Amino acid sequence: MALFEVRVPIATVWTEPDAPRHVDRPAVLDDPDLGSWTAAMDAEVRGGLKGRILTQLLLGEGVRIVEEQADWVKVVALVQPSSLDPVGYPGWVRRAHLGAPVPREDGATALVTAPSAVCDLEAGPRVELSFGTVLWVDDIDEQRVTVLLPDGRRGVLPLEDVRLSNKGEQPTNGVGDPLADARRFLGLRYLWGGTSSFGLDCSGLVHLVYRAQGVVIPRDAFDQVEAVDPVALDEVRPGDLYFFARPGERVYHVGFVSRPVGRDGSRWMLHAPEGGELIEDAPLALHRRDSLVAAGRLPMPHSG
């Protein structure tokens, strides 16, 4: 399987090449316009993404092509583990959204830690990158970092918008607080399949935040629950994860524990509610309390 990297700020992964609707055209242009796409969608249009979008990929993210169909390719995303495929998360993307990998295996990387960051391309327009994007460093000065991009391109980012690493690893090892990073997205509208600062779903929020900390967790909630260390529901602490399932069904929702359990038994969660709502930090509603089935914790990497 041929190795490629995402060459656009965000590549959306679809269930089939014919899954995008006319209203989704901005997302599948050769140079996708995620801002226009997400801004134009009302609740009904957003709801129609279910069954069409699977996930999203950030600039520089590695994939392997397993099938080709005209200007579409089926890929597996290498840093989005999934029970759907042992290699990575499978789905269809536009061929134009992929490019030749950066020829580097070690060295410094820059992780976008701002909710979004403007990258000035040396040959081309400026583009907006999402939180969590990891790129190889080419040069650094007092205010800017020059990064290497797929297809032999370069770009420049404000130094204040990134965190540098010299560990020669992707994703960058983090030294931050997952819950604090998750709070950056309060008020962002839910997007089915979203894994970027343009829109997130519940498991996309968890996956993106932990990936920025150097912890690669599966993409979907039903896989994430299998990847954590179980924690008793009454012993959770902020930064842990709550998981939800209906009787006899697999886990369908996940969120961050945002406060210790109250003396009155109240529980708070920071999460991306399904149905096109805004990411919130709020007490569990009754239907959430009734479907809460598990909690878990992920070990964090040490800095240094």
- Kindly list the catalytic residues: 202, 253, 271
Cβ contacts of 117 within 8 Å, gap of 6 or more = 128, 129, 133, 157, 158, 161, 162
Question: 92 is written with which tokens?
Answer: 């269809």
Count the Cβ atoms, other than its own, within 10 Å of residue 68. 11
Entry field: residues in the chain:
304
Question: 152 is written with which tokens?
Answer: 């032999």
Calpha distance 68→96 (Å, rounded): 12
Question: 68 is written with which tokens?
Answer: 């080709």
Q: Rg of the chain's alpha carbons, rounded to an integer?
A: 19
Calpha distance 260→232 (Å, rounded): 12
In the numeric block, the tokens 């993307």 are attached to 93
Calpha distance 171→169 (Å, rounded): 6
Calpha distance 46→211 (Å, rounded): 25
Calpha distance 128→104 (Å, rounded): 23
Question: 158 is written with which tokens?
Answer: 């404000």
Reference 113, options 47, 159, 169; nearest CA is 159
> 5: helix, coil or strand?
strand
